[in-house]
């Protein structure tokens, strides 16, 4: 339940956030609660992205376009700061960075959906380990150039990813059918890759229209390099990991990435112009595969480009000393007698948070 009110505060209460079986917790969902506050600066960039969505759909590199974009049916996309999280949200060591609620297509079509990108918690996570991965796999001059805007760029990419999920239409012969039914087990990987690629495809166009500088769009591409390379340390099984693995191999096999040896380590530089071509090419291919419900095509694409990478052990070793996850520490409002003040008070350690303390009930 997403509770909208006059104030810029969002409340989310849920008994089960996901409708598919989670590969990690092996559960369909847990009780969860969040108190969120809209981030105004980020929200203004977001509304510019949403305004441009029809123009993006009209020029997208796929065949079957969504001709009518009903603004009421667009996701309620929101950049928010987290005031507090409880239940399913606090699953250390993992931290949720962005979310579309719910996943159920019937609910989305009939009731609508909310897409949230969590800013302050995302920034905390990035501050701890994001830069380490960037420094490990990007050449020094690339890090110097883009490091400062990498977090901002990945946030915008996340928002475009969520919008990307709403784009495209089924081929005329499949109107009324769900791509998920036609593509079965291939669906999630294909759809996640489509959303990631949509974000990469849209960013330089938004920059050309002056929504943000081109440097930010390029930083968004490097943000994806970090996710893709970091993901190579896993055997591709989960949908997002498979999607990024597939994209990485498509880009590297087709000349989008230049390998550089620096301090005895393999690092990666993008051929930006070539990457933009490859993104459009693969986005078109995947968009058309989805629209036509071409399961055999999806299998072929996955078998060609999604595989355990020969660099897997090397990437794993290079990331060995990095934090495996993060535990967020939430502050409390300071109390002055009977009243709460506007000051925040942080617990001394992770385990000192009230949520982790046993409570005595009488
Ligand atoms: Zn997604």
Q: Report the Cα 87 to chain-centroid distance in Å.
A: 21
CA of 165 to the centre of ligand 1 (A): 7
CA of 344 to the centre of ligand 1 (A): 34
pLDDT, position 220? 97
pLDDT, position 260? 96
Determine the Cα–Cα distance for residues 9 and 7; give it in Å rounded to an integer. 5
**Phi then psi dihedrals of residue 25, to 5 deg:** -95, -10
CA of 214 to the centre of ligand 1 (A): 24
CA of 40 to the centre of ligand 1 (A): 24
pLDDT, position 22? 65
pLDDT, position 41? 83
Neighbouring residues of 136: CB distance < 8 A, sequence distance ≥ 6: 265, 318, 319, 322
pLDDT, position 316? 96
CA of 100 to the centre of ligand 1 (A): 8
User: pTM score, two decimals?
Assistant: 0.83
Quote the tokens at residue 36: 């969120």
Determine the Cα–Cα distance for residues 253 and 256; give it in Å rounded to an integer. 8
pLDDT, position 26? 73
Determine the Cα–Cα distance for residues 149 and 151; give it in Å rounded to an integer. 6
Tell which residue, 230, 169, 34, 195, has the closest CA to residue 103.
195
CA of 360 to the centre of ligand 1 (A): 41
pLDDT, position 68? 78
CA of 158 to the centre of ligand 1 (A): 9
CA of 220 to the centre of ligand 1 (A): 16
CA of 341 to the centre of ligand 1 (A): 39
CA of 287 to the centre of ligand 1 (A): 14
CA of 243 to the centre of ligand 1 (A): 10
CA of 235 to the centre of ligand 1 (A): 19
Quote the tokens at residue 6: 């006059």
Q: What angle do CA 206, 104, 9 make, to 5 degrees?
A: 60
CA of 98 to the centre of ligand 1 (A): 9
Q: 344 forms bridges with which residues in the sheet?
A: 333
Per-residue pLDDT of the chain (362 residues; tens, 9 = 90+): 666 667 777 777 776 665 566 666 676 667 888 888 888 888 888 889 988 999 999 999 999 988 777 776 676 778 889 988 888 788 777 888 887 777 667 777 777 777 788 999 989 888 888 889 999 999 999 999 999 999 999 999 988 998 898 888 889 899 888 888 999 999 999 999 999 999 999 999 999 999 999 999 999 999 999 999 999 999 999 999 999 999 999 999 999 999 999 999 999 999 999 999 999 999 999 999 999 999 999 999 999 999 999 999 999 999 999 887 888 888 888 999 999 888 888 899 888 887 777 555 54
CA of 9 to the centre of ligand 1 (A): 24
**Phi then psi dihedrals of residue 114, to 5 deg:** -120, 135
**Three-state secondary-structure class, residue 338:** coil
Domain boundaries, the chain: 40-77+129-324
């Amino acid at each position: 339940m997403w509770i909208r009110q006059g104030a810029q505060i969002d409340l989310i209460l849920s008994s089960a956030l996901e409708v598919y079986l989670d590969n990690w917790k092996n559960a369909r969902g847990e009780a969860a609660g969040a108190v969120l506050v809209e981030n105004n600066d980020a929200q203004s960039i977001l509304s510019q992205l949403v305004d441009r969505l029809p123009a993006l759909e009209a020029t997208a590199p796929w065949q079957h376009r969504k001709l009518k974009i009903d603004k009421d049916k667009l996701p309620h996309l929101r950049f928010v700061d987290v005031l507090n999280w409880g239940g399913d949200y606090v699953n250390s060591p993992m931290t949720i960075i962005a979310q579309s609620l719910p996943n159920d297509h019937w609910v989305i079509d009939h009731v609508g959906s909310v897409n949230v990108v969590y800013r302050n918690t995302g920034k905390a996570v990035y501050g701890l380990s994001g830069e380490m991965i960037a420094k490990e796999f990007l050449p020094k001059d690339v890090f110097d150039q883009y490091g400062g805007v990498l977090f901002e760029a990945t946030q915008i990419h996340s928002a475009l990813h969520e919008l990307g999920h709403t784009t495209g239409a089924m081929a005329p012969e499949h109107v009324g059918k769900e791509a998920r039914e036609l593509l079965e087990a291939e669906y999630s990987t294909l759809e996640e890759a489509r959303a990631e690629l949509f974000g990469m495809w849209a960013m330089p166009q938004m920059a050309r229209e002056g929504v943000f500088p081109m440097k930010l769009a390029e930083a968004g591409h490097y943000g994806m390099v970090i996710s893709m390379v970091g993901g190579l340390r896993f055997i591709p099984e989960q949908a997002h990991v498979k999607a990024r693995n597939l994209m990485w191999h498509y880009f590297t096999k087709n000349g989008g990435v230049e390998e550089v040896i620096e301090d005895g380590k393999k690092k990666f530089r993008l051929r930006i112009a070539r990457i933009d071509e490859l993104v459009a090419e693969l986005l078109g291919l995947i968009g058309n595969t989805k629209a036509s419900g071409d399961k055999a095509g999806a299998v072929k694409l996955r078998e060609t480009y999604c595989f355990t990478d020969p660099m897997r052990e090397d990437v794993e070793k290079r990331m060995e000393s990095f934090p495996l996850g993060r535990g967020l520490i939430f502050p409390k409002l300071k109390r002055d007698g009977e009243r709460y003040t506007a000051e925040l008070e942080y617990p001394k350690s992770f385990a000192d948070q009230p949520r982790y303390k046993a409570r005595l009930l009488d």
